[in-house]
Structure 1
Amino acid sequence: MKKKWLLLLLSGLMLVTIGCTKNEQKESVQAPALVVGMELAYPPFETKDAKDNPSGVSVDLSKDLASYLGRPVSIVNTNWDGLIPSLQTGKIDVVISSMTITAERGEVIDFSIPYAHSYLALLVNKQSKVQTNDDLNKEGIVVDVKKGTTGYVYAKKYLTNAQVNALSSENACVTEVTQGRADAFIYDQLTIYRQSQVNEDTTRAILIPFQNSENWGMAVKKGNTDLLHSIDAFIVDYQKNGGFERLTQKYLAKEKQTFDTLGFPWFFSTEQK
């Protein structure tokens, strides 16, 4: 009788051990990380906190996307001009870095549906005679733009009489304007507003839109349709469930209030002019 009970006890222990082993195996099989590329030099969207960790709107958005997909997230700080090559070579899965959807970029990468909309604006030195974008295309006017941006494209196309300086970073462009070496810096409305607040003694912002809105999208490697469709579904769900409103309240509440006062379309609004 004792032997019988002993056999039953051993059998039970074996089943428990096997069950635990299977559960441990399940827990150890984790979905691969969603590798997100962004340039951490564009607050409040892509930046670093006091501990040098990725922070900002796009970082939170990346984390929420990864959670939606059931994957951990890995954020890779990548220079702006290296983002598309990193997608093409498979170093990253997706770009979430305030990237404007353009036909030229769409030839080499695939974009999601838009999740944000932006307009170009001007950061102007207070001593400059520039009052509107119409004042830019004149001899003697110096305009700074960041390389590879839509402001750069605009300047090259329309400002043939001005001196256009293409610099490598936003900060360099802002410094040129604050120190009076450039009349204006062309960039998106939100950044121009924030920079004018930081540098209110030396600059002023011209926020009135002078182009149709530009759409921001997430980008994947050409042909990665499975991930692209999942991202599109996430954006729709995120908009529906107030995700972009939460990002606005956390990072852009003051800007939203100002834009509402000026009657400008909001950045995350689905209704654009």
Structure 2
Amino acid sequence: MFKQLINIFIGLSLFTTLVNSAEKPLIVGMELQYPPFEMSDKNGTPTGVSVDVAMALGKYLGREVQIENIAWDGLIPSLKTGKIDLVISSMTITDERQKTIDFSIPYAQSNLAILANKTSNIQDIEALNQKGKKIAVKKGTTGHLYANQYLKNAELLVFDKENAAVLEVIQGKADGFLYDQLTIYKNWTNHRSTTVALLKPFQEKPEYWGMAIKKGNDELREHVNAFIKQAKSDGTFDALSKKYLAEARATFDKLGIAFFF
């Protein structure tokens, strides 16, 4: 009888733990400055591809989702200190980042591309890697890292905000801006009279986006990986592609470039 009571107590304790875990909100960090992935609507409500992904993940886990809008360079520190549970913010999986945080399996792939000023006559990445050329980058992004490592002949102009870097190209103060293909495409569609989008990949390998998780949180990482696999197979990502990225996808297909999802 005593052993049975102990087993019942242990079972109740485990059940309580699971219930409490399920009730605890999943706090997701993202920088709401990157449409159509992470942005806010006119009322300040988070919206976009990544927000929809976060909500679908919460539904899969049976947990309410709380979005925290955090500046890009504060996302990883917030994750490491436990302020947030997860980062879903178009973050590329890199060896450097994996030294301090974990990532899910990839849920999307991307490549760097170039937004060039129309008068700069830039045709490819090598044309940017010349003395006298100026390249705008957003601080801490893979475009910034790539330019630091491979484009040493050009002058780098480093900005905290994407729109500041784009403005430099529009005004002819920079010859090109390095960022992911979809962002370059979006900015080109908004500024066709002054810019050119060079979307074909110039890196040897594509970049992959993952959901960032605090090191040691293996249980959450396993659940997130299972969700990503399901979302890829059940059409969740395809539906988001049609909802937010239909025009871009058509352009990429026409150019023969592998698409994001």
Q: Report the counterpart of residue 109 of structure 1 in structure 2.
A: 101
- Deviation of the 1:166 alpha carbon: 1.2
Q: Indicate the residue corresponding to 2:155 in structure 1.
A: 163
Structure 1 residue 152 displacement after superposition: 0.4
1:224 partnered with 2:217: yes
| d(CA) in 1 for partners of 2:105, 2:241 | 19
Match of 1:143 among 110, 121, 135: 135
* Residues 63 and 196 of structure 1, relative CA distance in 2, 3 Å threshold: same
Q: 1:192 matched to which residue of 2?
A: 184
CA distance in 2, matches of 1:224, 1:237: 20
CA shift digits 1:1-44 (9 cap, x unpaired) = xxxxxxxxxxxxxxxxxxxxxxxxxx999610000000000000
Q: Indicate whether 1:66 and 2:62 are aligned.
A: no
Question: Aligned to 1:179, which of 146, 171, 176?
Answer: 171
Q: Distance in 2 between matches of 1:75 and 1:33?
A: 10
Unmatched runs of 5 consecutive residues or more in structure 2? 1-18
Match of 1:258 in 2: 251
**In the alignment, what sits opposite 1:19?**
none
Q: Deviations over 1:51-75 (max 9, x none)?
A: 1110100000000001100000000
Q: 3-state SS of the aligned residue for 1:204?
A: strand
Partner of 2:38: 46
The Cα offsets for residues 96-129 of structure 1, whole Å up to 9 and x where unpaired, read as 0000000110010000000000011000011102
Q: Distance in 1 between matches of 2:121 and 2:240?
A: 37
Residues 221, 30 of structure 1: CA spacing in aligned structure 2 closer, same or farther, 3 A cutoff? closer
Distance in 2 (CA, whole Å) between partners of 1:29 and 1:144 is 44
The residue aligned with 1:128 is 120
RMSD: 1.3
Structure 1 segment 4-43 matched on structure 2, within 5 A: 31-43=23-35
Instruction: Select the residue among 69, 76, 79 that pairs with 1:87.
Output: 79
Offset from partner CA, 1:159-197 (integer Å, 9 cap, x none): 111001111011001000001100000000011011001
Structure possessing the higher radius of gyration over alpha carbons: 1
Identity of aligned residues (%): 55
| Cα distance between partner residues in 2 of 1:156 and 1:233 | 36
Instruction: Out of 36-45 and 124-133, give the one that drifted further.
Output: 124-133
Structure 1 gap ranges (5+): 1-26, 269-273
Q: Which residue of 1 aligns with 2:92?
A: 100
Figure out how many residues of one structure are paired with residues of the other and give that number.
Answer: 242
**One-letter identity of the residue aligned with 1:75:** I
Q: What amino acid is the match of 1:84?
A: I
Runs of 4+ aligned structure 1 residues displaced above 4 Å come to: 27-30
Work out the CA distance in 1 between the residues paired with 2:145 and 2:46: 29
Cα distance in 2 for partners of 1:222, 1:121 equals: 31
Distance 1:29 1:183 in 2: 51
Counterpart residue identity of residue 226, structure 1: E
